[in-house]
Amino acid sequence: MGLLARRKRTKIILAFLLPELALILSFVLIPIMGTFVISFKTDHGYGLDNYYGVITERSPDKALVIPENIVKAQPPPWGALIHNIVWVAIHVPIVVFLGLGIAYLLHDVIGSSIVKSIMFLGMVIPMVVGGLLIRFMFDGDLGVVPLLFRKLGIEALSRTWINYPQTALIALILGSVWLWTGFSLTVYAAALESLPKSYIEAAKVDGASGFQIFFKVVFPLLKHATIVVVIMTMLWDLKIFDIVFVSTLGGPGGATNVMALIMYTYFARALDYGRSAATAVILALISLIPGIWFIKRVMRSGS
Amino acid sequence: MVSNKSFWVIVIGAIVLGIIIGAAATYLTAGKQTVTKTVPTTTTVTHTITSAVSGAEQAATTTKTVTVTTTSPAETTPTEKVKLVVIGPWSGKSAEYFKAVIDNFTKKYPNIEIEYIARRAEDIAKTAPLQFAAGKTPADVIITPWAWWIVEMAKKGYVLDISNLINPDEYIPGIVDKVTYEGKIYGAPFTMWLKPGFWYRKSFFQKYGLQEPKTWDEFMQLLDRIKKIPGIKAPIATGDGVGWPESDIVEHFLITFGNPELQLKLINCEAKFNDPQVKEIFKKYLVPLIKNGYFSEPIEWTQAAELWWNNQYALYFMGTWITGRVPDPNDLDFFPLPGSKGVVGGADYAFIPKFTKNLEAAKLFVKFVATEGQAYHVAGPAGKIPTWKKVSIDQLWKPMQTVYKKITERGMTILPDLDDSVGGDWQTLFWDQLKLLWADPDKVDQILDTLTQQHPACKSK
């Protein structure tokens, strides 16, 4: 490439990059830096007080790990960080296997796009509305889930799930499965479409059963799709806020509290911006772990 | 690949462009300054309002004439058109009732146009502080029930001192204290609601031959009789919003079986939630009721109101605003717990952010809202009573006159709302812990310990 052509190319790159970088700088990087600085700001200058306060807080509405008085009474609630981890531990595997299973079952089935579109609706619904729908789904009078258990004669699960600490968190997690499975399904459906059919045909010729084809051929080939689904779901779970805010506000007794809600409580109720910013930084750091792992995997597979 | 030189050109260019965009965004979001001229006037007002607000049946369709005659001292009024942005907590029907106040204000001051924006107290409390910190305000006047928040903003220097606008002696005792900080008044009281007791439908009580209880035993007998009525899910509907209806029930029990003083002591942590007296009230009266199914599960409070009105529940503990929400307020009555000598009440407060561009007009509006404007509000089915003593009780909407008379006949003292007074994050903790109480009454000790440990006044002692 000649010198003139290179200069022209550089100018084009500059023209395209500048506006985006400027916007990212104005509305993403500077606020992030601002939050970072505020997280260290204390009454007497700068220090780690906010971080110490957030980590050692024991009030049930703001506890990160263990709320106070937990020794006297059986949990739940635990702290918000534990709730986030429970959320990830339950939500991620269900979403992965449900999305994959449905996508595989619907693969090459006539009219499957209609089913996929319906399932994708959960993704399209604003999460605030999703939170309200979860509230109704698990309502003792109106909800479909308690109704089902009433029909089965299980009285303990035929009441309003979100009113009780023992069932509130699981209700929200199951509700979020319903909202998020559409994403998993879409990713897996697209990945299945791109699979070379010859692999599956070769496995059939070799006498592999349907079970073996799925676990030994299809699933390993969907590794990249699985990584995307796992990472995106984990990040979604870690920053979960809206459906909790709308349906339970972290209650009862802090049983559904999550990290993002703690950040909000410090910000909007306690008017403590330093601790709110510290919570945001902690949340960002925790989210970076799967994020960095994901980027490394992508870069490795790219190279 | 982009060369090193190009990389730095991109970075520096992005920084410059970023600063320009940031500055432009700041400029565009800044409000325009309105210049107002003022002239002294003396005003005598006589207005008539028609409170034909829908929904509250025919009691609401009575055409009520409100006569407010005030001779104001020299007031400044804008000679040019001024648009005043007012944020308040009311939406839907409640906003319609407040519109009567706005309409009468604009009649009195035709040069002032009001743009009303509905924002929940919670929403304004989380966005306004940032705007204040940036030297801006989302409105010229903000009305909120959160007195504690106004004081917090005043402490930061974001709220104007309006001590010269209102006379505290003209208000129900204690109501101005909640917005007073270091001897200066930062909020003007508007009308107030009361949370007087258990509401019931007269027709339901007549149908089943039920009577208002006069003793605790009679109250328990009433609950037992209601429980046996076919179609009744539970005697008392438990409303649930973000948690507050349960807190109202609890406060009513504390006031009844402690005394009105206990409510005030709990606010200031002169008494603690895990004191033996408080524990006894919970364990002897409230917890057995929850355990034995006299209260329903918490139900979203508007949904609970509907179910209660449809006779699925017989009693509903709620504020006086319920009078304006039911289809037939004439079929409505209430009773407090037998022996109760206190009723919780709370007002909305108007304040002027320091950064208002229309200071004189804002002052006029705040003063109007705190004085004669109250008469227009209480005349409609808002379910409120005035805090300004110059508004006569005869000016109240008829169903509210009945409520008010019943409260005064029983000699009940108006007390500040416990959680509204403490405020902050403790308020949401209180609501949430009470949700836990309803779900698991055996955790009462843990709950009362938590409420004590986290109470800001107890922490500072």
User: Where does residue A237 rank: exposed (0-12), middle (13-18), buried (19+ CB within 10 A)?
Assistant: buried
Q: How confident is the model at residue B113 (pLDDT cuts 50, 70, 90)?
A: very high
Q: Confidence band (pLDDT; 50, 70, 90) for A291?
A: confident
Does residue B45 surpass a pLDDT of 50? no
Model confidence band, residue A199 (pLDDT cutoffs 50, 70, 90): confident
Instruction: Report how far residue B275's alpha carbon sits from residue B23's, in angstroms, rounded to the nearest whole number.
Output: 56
Residue B142 parent element (H or E): strand B141-144
pLDDT at B22 over 60: yes
Tokens for B34, please give them: 């309105």
Write down the pLDDT at residue B93.
Answer: 84
- Is the per-residue pLDDT at B283 higher than 60? yes
CATH class of B38-194+347-401: alpha beta
* pLDDT exceeds 80 at position B48: no
pLDDT at B65 > cutoff 90: no
**Spatial separation of the C-alpha atoms in residues B300 and B241, rounded to whole Å:** 5
Strand partners, B83: B113
Distance from CA of A244 to the nearest CA of B (A): 12
- Which residue, A176, A174, A190, is CA-closest to A104? A190
Helix (H, G, I), strand (E, B) or coil at B284: helix
Which chain A residues are closer than 8 Å to B129 by Cβ? Answer: 271
Q: What does the pLDDT look like over A217-233, one tens digit per residue? A: 888 899 889 999 999 99
Identify the band that residue B162 occupies on the pLDDT scale cut at 50, 70 and 90.
very high
Q: Of residues B254 and B25, which shows the higher confidence score?
A: B254
Give the model's pLDDT for residue B460.
78
Cis upstream peptide for B386 (omega within 30°): no
Domain boundaries for CATH 3.40.190.10 within chain B: 38-194+347-401, 197-318+423-459
Domain B197-318+423-459 has CATH 3.30.70.20: no
Among A73, A159, A249, the residue with its CB nearest the CB of B443 is A73
Find the mean pLDDT for residues B17-38.
53
Residues in chain B closer than 8 A to A13 (CB atoms): 2, 6, 10
Give the per-residue pLDDT at A8: 84
A255 neighbourhood in chain B, CB within 8 Å? 436
Nearest CB to B429; choose among A60, A160, A264 = A60
pLDDT in tens, A112-125: 888 888 888 888 88
Q: Is A163 on the interface with B (CB under 8 A)?
A: yes
Give which of A144, A175, B90 is closest to B102, Cα–Cα: B90
Out of B435, B446, B453, the one facing A72 most closely (by C-beta) is B446
CB A167 within 8 A of CB A160: no
Give me the mean pLDDT over the B169-192 stretch.
Answer: 93
Question: What are the phi and psi torsion angles at A272 (to 5°)?
Answer: -105, 90
The answer to whether residue A83 scores a pLDDT higher than 50 is: yes
Lowest pLDDT segment from B4-8, B171-175, B194-198: B4-8
**Which chain A residues have a beta carbon less than 8 Å from that of B449?**
68-69, 72
Instruction: Using the predicted structure, report yes or no on whether residue B69 has a pLDDT greater than 60.
Output: no
Residue A36 scores a pLDDT above 80: yes
Residue-level pLDDT at A70: 62
The pLDDT assigned to A74 comes to 63
Residue A269 is nearest to which of B425, B436, B446, comparing CB atoms? B425
Tell me which chain A residue has its CA closest to the CA of residue B456. A270
If you average pLDDT over each of A262-266, B158-162, B300-304, which comes out highest? B158-162
Task: Classify domain A48-302 by CATH number.
Answer: 1.10.3720.10
Average pLDDT score over residue span B192-220: 95
pLDDT the model gives residue B270: 94
Sign of CA dihedral B432, B437, B440, B445: positive
Taking all residues of chain B, what is their mean pLDDT, rounded to a whole number? 85
* Chain B residue with the nearest C-alpha to that of A256: B432
Nearest CB partner across the interface for B2, out of A13, A163, A250: A13
pLDDT at residue B34 above 50?
no
Chain A residues touching residue B14 (CB < 8 angstroms): 17-18, 21-22, 24-25
CB contact under 8 A, A271 and B438: no
* Cα–Cα distance measured from residue B228 to residue B294, given in angstroms and rounded to the nearest whole number: 11
ipTM above threshold 0.85: no
Given this model, what pLDDT does residue B38 score?
37
Band (pLDDT 50/70/90 cuts) for residue A301 is low
Interface of A with B in 258-277 (CB under 8 A): 264-271
* Rg of chain A on CA atoms, in Å: 24
What pLDDT digit, counting tens, does each position of B378-404 carry? 998 988 999 999 998 889 998 899 888
Task: Give the pLDDT mean for B418-442.
Answer: 91
Q: Domain residues of chain A, as ranges?
A: 48-302
pLDDT for position B76? 60
